[in-house]
Copies of this chain bind each other. A is one copy, B any other.
Amino acid sequence: MNITEFAKAAGVSVSAVSRYFNDGYLSEDKRLKIEAALESTGYMPSYSARTVRSKVTKLVGVILPKLSSESISRVTEGISEVLGAEGFELLLVNTANDYNREISSLELFRQNRVDGVILLASVFTDLHRSLLSKMRVPAIIVGQKLMGFNCVCHNDLGAAYSMTKLMLDKGAKVPAFIGANPEDNAAGRDRRLGFEKALAEAGIELDKSLCEIAKFSMESGYEKAGRIFTQKKKPDCIFCATDNIAAGVMLYCRENNIRIPDDVMIGAVGDSRMGRLLYVPLSSVHLHYKTAGIEGAKMLLNEMKGSSSVHRIMQLEYDIIERESTARL
């Protein structure tokens, strides 16, 4: 059944029906007629036909590197909360960390499929930048700072700095570092910089043999812990770029009878739910992931109703959550 047939069935004109579903510039009489007919026929206007004319999809494309990550799903939850309340649906693309899928989704969204885009990517290339600026709809980047674009991000540098400083202040002298891919400016580069800043301030020289780059997984953290603890120099604290990495380190410590925090303190960034449940509760920096999603969505909403030419970068601050893993006397 289409709008013409339905209008006939309801005894009103086609435009009355269209108005009913849109602005509502309509007499009460017709409104009632339409509602009655709606009840009996179960008619539903076609979304795509509407979109062809109006150019409004009521869809927001969300591109993310994976689904089964706590931080990402918290961001997504925030996004969906705000956008859902405004009647937008999410067109989700899980790139599975595949760079090509990231690019192709951006391409995909250039066709008039969505009214806006939210991008959660970890590594940005020139191709990203060029596609993003060619975008015909507003785009917001969440979790990363990309100059010249609208972003909501965390203070990764500050977070890493504060956590490292916390451990140094407690007396750690030989810090180790397990970081993330440095091409990832947030979790990789900035957290590294924060770590280094704290060391520099404390006048401690960075020992390269105690620095490792891990993947975003517990397994990888476990493996890198193994490398670090088999060096001659033994660290008395380890800064981990993510909670997952820290969890892997802890697993290694437990299996190898390395006491936390007595032998080694462990501090991380992310404050996942898991942290407080670990066999030694993990000190971590809380980042406001859900808030980032909420703010990103709001920013997008703003851009979609009249985009401004001024780009905004919103940086969210952090909270340090101190638990036993850094509780040295």
Residues of A within 8 A of B (CB): 42, 44-49, 51-52, 57, 59, 62, 66-70, 73-74, 76-77, 80-81, 84, 89-94, 96, 101, 107-108, 110-113, 134, 218, 247, 250-251, 273-274, 276-280
Instruction: For the complex, give the distance between the alpha carbons of A279 and B279 in Å.
Output: 3
Q: How many copies does the complex hold?
A: 2
Name A80's closest neighbour in chain B (CB-CB). B94
Residues of B close to A111: CB separation below 8 A: 44-47
Pairs A-B, 4 closest by C-beta atoms: A279-B279, A48-B51, A44-B111, A68-B73
Residue from A47, A93, A101 with most neighbouring chain B CB atoms (10 Å): A47
Residues of B close to A74: CB separation below 8 A: 68
Residues of B close to A70: CB separation below 8 A: 68, 70
In the complex, the answer to whether B48 meets A52 with C-beta atoms within 8 Å is: yes
Instruction: For the complex, give the distance between the alpha carbons of A52 and B3 in Å.
Output: 13
Instruction: For the complex, give the distance between the alpha carbons of A247 and B275 in Å.
Output: 12
Instruction: For the complex, give the distance between the alpha carbons of A111 and B47 in Å.
Output: 7
Residues of B close to A218: CB separation below 8 A: 273, 277
